[in-house]
Amino acid sequence: MKIAIGNDHAGTAYKFAVVEYLKSEGIEVTNYGTNEDSSVDYPDFVHPVAKDVAAANVDFGILICGSGNGVAMTANKYTTVRAGLCWTKEITALTRQHNNANIICIPARFTALPQAIEMVKVFLNTKFEGGRHQNRINKIPECI
């Protein structure tokens, strides 16, 4: 499995922990995030992740910022990206099962680090249910 990860300054510590977990599971990781805590502009780190996901260069993406909103809004500008803002394991499971999310967005300032790792585990191990949910997903790019 291949994962692209990106983060801004609010998500640096979380990114390091998530990457460590992913590598311990034998998952290949491309790090597009900042490795510093100084203020940066999150879109600069989102676009490479979203482009990799949209081009199917990776299986999934992980984005981390303070609220998770900015990275989700930016990633969802790409037609084939479905970035879900998650703050619990249950929401994470639903974003995969019902929305076939291909990027998880984690709000570092509103989730504990162990919780974030658990959400990544759930995200990577939850399957899309298809069926009626696929019909809804097919309508997403048609919104004007």
Residues marked active site are found at 65, 98
Pairing of strands 60-65, 103-107: parallel
Tokens of 59: 């299986």
Q: How far apart are CA 118 and CA 3, in angstroms?
A: 16
Q: Which helix (H) or strand (E) holds 15?
A: helix 12-24
Burial label for 51, CB within 10 Å (0-12, 13-18, 19+), is middle
